[in-house]
Structure 1
Amino acid sequence: MAERGQTKFQIDLRRHLREQAVDRNLTRLITEIAEASKYIINSIRTGDLGVAGTSNLYGEQQLALDVLADRILEKRLKYSGVVASLVSEESGDILRFHPEQEGPYYSVAYDPLDGSSLVDVNLAVGTIVSIYAGDNLLQPGRQQVAALYILYGPRTTLMYSTGNGVHEFAMNQLMEYSLVQEHVRIDGGSGIYSPGGQRNLYTPGTEAFVRSLEERGYKLRYSGGFVPDINQVMIKGKGVFLYPHLQNRPRGKLRLLYELNPMAFLVEQAGGAASDGHRPILDLVPQKIDDCAPVFIGCREDVAAAEACIAAQG
């Protein structure tokens, strides 16, 4: 088993998927997403940082990079020949296709450039992807067959899982993904916390939970980007991220389909947990493509403590 920093055999992503006995069509899909990321990272480095003059489904002003990253991924997924339907955080509708390849086909929900508003100040951003078998995207996240994220930071890294642990890859000088470590684990212990949302709008249970973390010496590490903050928990192997229900936003901010389900799948595969404060994120049943939910995600012990505080104080 390769450990972090030890890539003696330079195992690339396609080879690793093959060795994990991942279905051929799913392998094709994941490697197409990896290929798309090469064009996205080039766009981040050289592209227009201005607004696109359009809004997404949620009324949020789209940046030119949002639109470009969305188009890059949509094109790669459409022509992969193995996608039956897809939906992006930047679009308002599910797109449906007729898969051209024989064998299993898949549906994909993705956030093409999470944290894009951080690009102009040169902070890390990422792509988040959720994959289901068949053509139905409105399923509980536990039905995912794969999930991954790509982090565009000082290095470009990719974390994926097909239900057999979480594996980390880094883009090398040839812009190919090489294995960094297998079976990434969140083992727990005191550490870091990343709290989203305005604290003066926290409910009593969430406020009590955050105070308990501070009293135990947890360090606040919040970048404003979901991908880098979750990656921090994954790589450090400890800590918790939260974007809770707020007094004026009881359903939270983050989207179930594009953000929470894939991250919850990855974190659970790494031994962690993800909850809306009452139940696992992966058990929630989406009713619409724009459903949101609160989230407490990371170390199992920390997520359980959050649930206990919310049960006791609301």
Structure 2
Amino acid sequence: MFSQPGKTKFQVDLRQHLRDQNISGNLVHLICEVAEASKYVINAVRTGDLGVAGTSNLYGEEQLALDVLSDRIMRKRLQHSGVVCNIASEEMEEIFQVTSNPQGMFSVAYDPLDGSSLVDVNLAVGTIVGIYQGQDLLQPGRKMVGAMYILYGPRVSLVYSVGKGVYEFTMNQLMEYTLTREQIQMKPCGDIYSPGGLRKKYNESNERFIRYLEEKGSKLRYSGGFVPDINQILMKGKGLFMYPALDGSPNGKLRLLFELNPMAFLLEQAGGAATNGEIPILDIEPEGLDQRCPVYIGCREDVSKAGEFLNGTC
């Protein structure tokens, strides 16, 4: 087992580690419930139906059977956790209220299986989760009390933060999560870039920024999955992911509540940054569940440079 930068002396499981973080017992329980749900999701990914469910989500996107099953697994686990009052999923049309009494409870926004269309070609996918205190989900991501993602790849890993640094846990043969990296940190700048969207639909500012990255020797690394691409940047400690405004899609593709806020929280905790090109992702006031926005996320200096190109100062 290894950590960052040195080796840990003993194997530490997730629950034990969370209890040492001096957070509420309810938050410990919630994060562990998500971890338990992920065990059923990975089983569904490995053995489940790859066909179409015959339904659409609130964005009009055709749902896969795995999307629906993963959402059901996650929602049931959260619903019966005893510590969640409101749930919002990328696969649901509205907020699901578990209880009208939010005292000591949390609200959770999640994408149950981000990148699900990649499963049939055996590429990595993931679950993304953002946690808020109380019942209000439509507030800036800066007010989250925790964020996490689970990557279902050659190994299953869980990465989380409760505002006290970023930690990675890996699922072992007994399907238990044990600590593998602690206090993960990003370098100021990197040499990897992951550009989403069709490049021919980029505006001139984004095109110039891409040329700048290429000229400085950055290598293109893009899987088509948000979770594996962010995980690569975070674990290598360098790089930039971007999904900019496109011709015909001025708000990009990725959803603020379900995808961008949790990842921005994690990257900032690791010393990185995330912006829509004008303001930090975590400072954006959400206007609804379906809100999307452009994103530039990764090493702080690279994100700052993207803003300079977009604002015409570079």
- Provide TM-score, normalisation by structure 2: 0.97
| 2:72 alignment partner AA | R
Provide Cα deviations, 1:171-216, integer angstroms capped at 9, x if missing partner: 0010000000111111133310000001011011111111000000
How far is 1:105 from its partner?
0.4
Maintained 8 Å contact 2:190/2:240: no
Matched to 1:41, the amino acid is I
**In 1: Cα distance, 2:34 partner to 2:208 partner:** 40
Offset from partner CA, 1:23-67 (integer Å, 9 cap, x none): 100000000000000000001111101010100000000000000
* RMSD, aligned CA: 1.6
Residue 225 (structure 1) aligned with residue 220 (structure 2): no
Counterparts of residues 165-204 of structure 1 (less than 5 Å): 165-204=165-204
SS at match of 2:248: coil
Deviation at 1:247, TM superposition (A): 1.7
CA offset digits 1:67-113 (Å, max 9, x no partner): 0000000000000001010010001010011289x961000000000
Report 1:1-314 matches (<5 A).
2-3=3-4, 6-98=7-99, 104-312=104-312
* Alignment-mate amino acid for residue 107 of structure 1: S
- Deviation per CA, 1:138-170: give whole Å up to 9, x if none: 000000000000000000001000000100100
Q: Output the CA distance in 2 between the equivalents of 1:146 and 1:261.
A: 10
Post-superposition offset of 1:2: 4.3
What CA distance in whole angstroms lies between the structure 1 residues aligned with 2:244 and 2:293?
A: 8
For 2:9 and 2:93, how far apart are their aligned partners in 1? 45
- For 1:118 and 1:217, the matched residues in 2 are separated by 28
Unaligned runs of 5+ in 2: none
8 Å CA contact 1:10, 1:178 repeated in 2: yes
Aligned residues of 2:190 and 2:299 also touching (Cα < 8 A)? no
For the residues of structure 1 that align with 2:313 and 2:71, how far apart are their CA atoms?
41
| SS in structure 2 at match of 1:39 | helix
- How many residues align? The count is 313
| Unaligned residue ranges in structure 1 (runs of 5+) | none
Secondary structure, in 3 states, of the residue corresponding to 2:311? helix
Per-residue CA deviations over 1:243-278 (Å, capped at 9, x if unaligned) read 001121111110000000000000000000000011
Residues 37 and 74 in structure 2, CA contact (< 8 A), matched pair in contact too: yes
Q: Is the 8 Å Cα contact of residues 189 and 300 (structure 2) preserved in structure 1? A: no
Aligned-residue sequence identity (percent) comes to 63
